[in-house]
Amino acid sequence: MPGCDSTSGASPVIGVLALQGGVAEHLAALDRSGAVAKPIRRPEELDDVHGVVLPGGESTTMSRLLHSFELFDPLRERLAAGLPAYGSCAGMVLLAGEVLDPGADSGKDPAVTPFGALDVAVRRNAFGRQVDSFEAELAFTGVDGPVHAVFIRAPWVERVGRAVDVLAEITPHGSGVAGAAGRIVAVQQGRVLATSFHPELVRGDERVHRHFVQTVRAG
């Protein structure tokens, strides 16, 4: 599908991977952000989108379902060809170049097959279990004012490549998790955006989604 023409005034069509996770919340946030949002469950549905969102959920389950629904290879090809993408939480894990095991001293996580759309290493479930979920106010580059961020079994970014822009980090008092201060929780590389947190859960604040929609339009 040709790229979205930012001068035409037409709303970009943005698909939300609808295999598992927070699909409805992302669809609603995209609609409120000026996009035409549609769920993606079949490979042929990728032909009609200008961008794609990979929602939060359970990254190992999503990775397995991508292969079961024969979506992994078609989506990987579209991403490699420059399709704009946004991943929240588990979506960040799937977009990464390298996924690290949740264990502090372990290496690559064999349970997830990432797309390699971002030159980053992401540690899955880095902030802990469900009971360790928290909320924080973050400075987010490209967005005016602090962003209220909801973290649920969230990953963090441990390494970034030179082409990656860091958009947000945890402040010293932003989390009770040991070693969390300064951890990277939002990144962008070209037209690929990812956050550790769930902006789709903060109704009435679509600034992160609008940032992504503008990224799609600019392409």
- Residue 10's pLDDT band, with cuts at 50, 70 and 90, is confident
SS3 of 199, please?
Answer: helix
**Tokens, residue 185:** 């929780």
Catalytic, out of 26, 89, 209, 211? 89
pLDDT of 28 > 60? The answer is: yes
- Residue 29's pLDDT band, with cuts at 50, 70 and 90, is very high
Kindly report, residue by residue over 66-110, the tens digit of the pLDDT.
Answer: 999 999 999 999 999 999 999 999 999 999 999 998 765 656 767
Catalytic, out of 25, 169, 200, 206? 200
pLDDT of residue 14: 98
pLDDT of 116 > 50? The answer is: yes
pLDDT of residue 6: 45
pLDDT of residue 7: 40
Please tell me whether the overall predicted TM-score, pTM, comes out greater than 0.75 for this model: yes
pLDDT of 1 > 70? The answer is: no
| Helix, strand, coil tally for the chain in percent (to 5) | 25, 25, 45
Q: Is 4 a catalytic residue?
A: no
Compute, in degrees rounded to 10, the torsion defined by CA atoms 9, 140, 123, 120.
60
Report the alpha-carbon distance of residue 51 to residue 3 in Å, rounded: 9
Map out the domains of the chain as residue ranges: 13-218
Q: Is 67 a catalytic residue?
A: no
Q: Is 89 a catalytic residue?
A: yes
Share of the chain above pLDDT 90, in %: 76
Kindly report, residue by residue over 145-199, the tens digit of the pLDDT.
Answer: 999 999 999 999 999 999 999 999 998 776 666 678 889 999 999 999 999 999 9
Catalytic, out of 50, 198, 209, 211? 198
What's the CATH class of domain 13-218?
alpha beta
- Inter-residue contact 166 to 186 (CB < 8 Å): yes
